Structure 1
């Protein structure tokens, strides 16, 4: 709640507004000390508006009283003979008291009243959390290492570029940072990552489990095969700066293990060379396709012209530059799903401000409805509240 500004040229009255309120129990002595009870000098209660969210024990509402007393508050020289004068003086008192409460709250960092101020202020000096040790990832196969490292196009042009996990982790980190700007397309990209990457990881795990069952069958008959591992596995330090880096690391490790299982079956002649090659290729292609999609989102959304993009650009009354950004981004990616724009679908990790006013929420809903209507006219599938439609 923001502090109201007392009217111009009018100070808080010097005389108190006493004695206790007949129609309500007085607050404890230590509850908001210095707060006077809202009664006329004769003891009759002063009427006032209330609100359940009020910081005062009697639920006094400054915002609603401001509406009722607007003419007195805005007057350069309010009339002391106005029948609402005592109510106006009460308003001024509560404005001052709210400022005092807010200042005290800031100084004590909102600590419980039983906490000493000297202790509460130490919260500001508390250091941020750091890793206790080094995060690592161990890889055994060249395929797994290449999936992490990626490959640039060679100078002679014989080999195409291959997106790697390190690169896509950087892209997802950039998209994660863009959510701070309330960018709906960054939210969309991360939601797709939330859906697609775990789906690939689960598919790798299922397939590795099925293939490992072939090894177990041999073991049950007395033929024990161990899963291949590198003589010199490579331990990579991670140190990602966003949660999505670790999502990618999990996928790479899952892929590396799957390749080890496949190559074990090839080494033990349970797979032919072609079967082993095809089994690995079965996953390299969709993983790289997913990587390319997220890199594409990052490449476009971080261009200088699109970098300021936010949900506000879609609202009525947005300026010409906002209109150009909306036209450009919808031309590149299509219309953002209405449910994502309105905030019904939220990525697992986001820096977006979730707490918004009812007015802002209603505006987002109206624009989301317009987006859905336009999308429907174009023949697109209707928006759902599930993950359907997040992945091609």
Structure 2
């Protein structure tokens, strides 16, 4: 639109998604006038010059539209300015000050799975990674995903999948034991699942959704142990079988925890913390190429589906939208960190 508010009689392209009532297509016009836009000196006698002036006016108008849209928080035109601006004072969802999330843990097995265990000072042995440490590690990896780190995405996906798998297995076993108890109940035996009169209460307040994924796994494991202990106490199964059932699931949970902590230990190294998908591109700087070589040596290749974003974590801070051209490029770049060992060793 011209400064005198008169429509310029030019054959400009029209687009259905145009912000202007007449359908003026800024993107198409930029492409058509690209040589004039890129020129250091524009010839006013060029027959397309009026179109260039109109394009500049339209871009200025669009800029004003966007400022107005942002200032009104994108609200509908029927909404008053006062109503729209009120959105800025709106707080975020949170637990009330007099409330807090918590979980009651009834069994020592589940409590130890949450707390972990360090080796005694001055003695040899193996430490046990607990749920609280895993929740912290997953939070850090979750933040790394915002840097477009494909290995952070991969770590989150693996933890999601493995915790879901173990939860499903626990639920299946619990249902089988519940059916056994119901069968006894039909015969007149009313058994109750054991519970602790003084459970260990944990205040949660995790700062990432993955902390709650961990505690839900521990909560299901806790109930599973209670069921197994109940079955053994009522002589439905033997003590040895009960211990074996508990150990088997404990081992699976601990395996998940150790894998998460290993990912965290590697990805949070100062030399690797800036790793991103751009490091895999042919245009990457030398430091980026070294990061790729090092992480591949330590963790293996990241699956292509994860690298391209076809498979994503349940929760991620990554907010990057890629164009079709960029997706094609990600599909072609090598993921094996092909680099001389002498160079990659500087990061290990």
The TM-score, its normalising length taken from structure 1, stands at 0.81
- 1:204 maps to 170
Pairing partner for 1:322 from 277, 285, 288: 288
1:63 to 27, 35, 39: 27
Residue pairs, 1:173-212, within 5 angstroms: 173-212=139-178
State the Cα distance separating 1:354 from its structure 2 match. 4.1
C-alpha separation between the residues in 1 aligned to 2:112 and 2:76?
54
Q: Secondary structure at the match of 2:24?
A: coil
| Deviation of 1:342 (Å) | 0.5
Alignment RMSD: 2.1
**Take 1:151 and 1:240, find their aligned partners in 2: how far apart are those partners?**
21
SS of residue in 2 equivalent to 1:236? strand
Distance 1:228 1:158 in 2: 36
Matched, 1:38 2:11: no
In the TM superposition, structure 1's runs of 4+ consecutive aligned residues that sit over 4 Å from their partners are 74-77
CA contact (8 A) 1:154 1:160 kept: no
- Residue 300 (structure 2) aligns with: 334
Q: Does 2:320 align with 1:350?
A: no
Once the two structures are superposed, the pairs formed by residues 140-159 of structure 1 within 5 Å of their partners are: 140-157=106-123, 159=125
Q: Using CA pairs under 8 Å that are at least 6 residues apart, name the structure with larger relative contact order, 1 or 2.
A: 2
Tell me how far 1:220 sits from its aligned partner.
1.7
From 257, 260, 266, the equivalent of 1:294 is: 260
Pick one of 113, 129, 132 that aligns with 2:77: 113
SS of the equivalent of 1:137 reads strand
C-alpha distance in 2, partners of 1:94/1:226?
Answer: 75
Segments of structure 1 that go 5 or more residues without pairing to the other structure are: 1-11, 19-36, 40-45, 375-392
Structure 2 unmatched ranges of 5 or more: 339-348
Per-residue deviation at 1:71?
Answer: 4.1
Give the 3 Å change call, closer, same or farther, for CA 333–349 of structure 1 in structure 2: same
Work out whether 1:269 is the aligned partner of 2:235.
yes
Structure number with greater Rg is: 1
Q: Does 1:125 align with 2:73?
A: no
Alpha-carbon distance, 1:109 to partner: 1.7
For normalisation by structure 2, the TM-score amounts to 0.90
Q: Does 1:81 align with 2:59?
A: no
1:44-95 CA-partner distances (Å, limit 9, x unpaired): xx11123344322333222332232234434555333322232222112212
Q: Distance in 2 between matches of 1:173 and 1:72?
A: 50
How far off is 1:111 after superposition? 1.4
Q: Which moved more, 1:191-200 or 1:90-99?
A: 90-99
How far apart, in 2, do the equivalents of 1:74 and 1:267 lie?
83
* Greater helix fraction, Structure 1 or Structure 2: 2
| Distance in 2 of aligned mates of 1:230 and 1:131 | 27
**Partner of residue 58, structure 2:** 94
Call closer, same or farther: CA 1:98–1:216 in 2, change over 3 Å: same
| Structure 2 counterparts to residues 158-169 of structure 1, below 5 A | 159-169=125-135
Whole-angstrom CA distance in 1 between matches of 2:169 and 2:38: 67
